[in-house]
Amino acid sequence: MIPYVKSDYNGTVAITAYINGVPKTITADHINYDMVDELLLDQSESPIQSSLISDLMDTVKALREAVFEYDKVTIVDDEVLFDGEPVYGLLSDMMIDIVREGGDVTSWCKFMMKLNENPAKHAVDELYEWMYKAQMPITSNGNFLAYKKVRDDYSSAHPNPDGSKLMNLLGTRVDMARNKVDDNRHQTCSTGLHFCSWSYLPSYMGDRGKVLLVEINPADVVSIPSDYAFAKGRASGYWIVGEIGIEDTEFAFADTTVLDDNDERLIDDYSNIWSN
């Protein structure tokens, strides 16, 4: 039998196994911790080879076995590769952590592939960080979810350039030409199809309206404005996939100022209004 002890290691549960007299330690966050724990516990009834335990406890070998591949995305040896090139950052770190824990990152691979179709480098660099801070999830097809506030008749806060209403009806897709969306992240209130985090909803102007759930392809994101802790964004298109009930969104209508359909005051007077 392989002798071992379980102990506290820098505040984390750990197993130290003595392989041929040499101590080898792994902590509870190791990808193979549960397997090693079970094998050592049952070895009186099911003898195990010391080489097997040694390999399972070897971090490099464990990571090498934790390979995940989907289309152009490969995760191996503590690294994410997109089309053979290494990818670094918050998104790749998160994907590596999921694989280490034995999780499925297919949806995130789809998200990464769509994100890499986005022609705006700043959007590619900033979108996942925005989602992380805003705590917005992705869908199984690699898109992500966000919120939008509209008028009572489901039209956007501001009309189209020709004066017509831009409608946001449940089950429809809304689009505008990408080159019409302001890609300057320092221009905080400008043209584009806007989306935001749950926490930003009260910053929309007006004490009436609807709160919608939108699904967005990462490739359609144009800019993440730098104000309000990067809590909002502009895109060239999205799907209207849900409406949040009034009982859950009362906090979003705390502002008592009403913007009616005939209001022609300058947008500069209201820094919280989004174009659409």
pLDDT of 242-271, one tens digit each?
Answer: 999 988 988 888 754 444 443 333 232 222
Phi, psi of 13 (to 5 degrees): -65, 135
Quote the CA–CA distance of 261 and 263 in Å, as a whole number.
6
pLDDT band at 207; cut points 50, 70, 90: low
Confidence check: pLDDT of 129 > 60: yes
Confidence check: pLDDT of 184 > 60: no
Element (DSSP H or E) covering residue 94: helix 90-100
Quote the CA–CA distance of 222 and 220 in Å, as a whole number.
6
Q: What percent of the chain has pLDDT over 90?
A: 40
Choose the weakest-confidence range: 25-34, 88-97, 220-229: 220-229
Q: What is the pLDDT of residue 190?
A: 65
68: phi > 0 → left, psi -120 to 50 → alpha, else beta; which? beta
Mean pLDDT of the chain: 82
Parallel, antiparallel, or unpaired: how do β-strands 73-76 and 68-70 relate?
A: antiparallel
Q: What is the pLDDT of residue 187?
A: 54
Q: At what angle do helices 33-41 and 50-57 cross, to 10 degrees?
A: 160
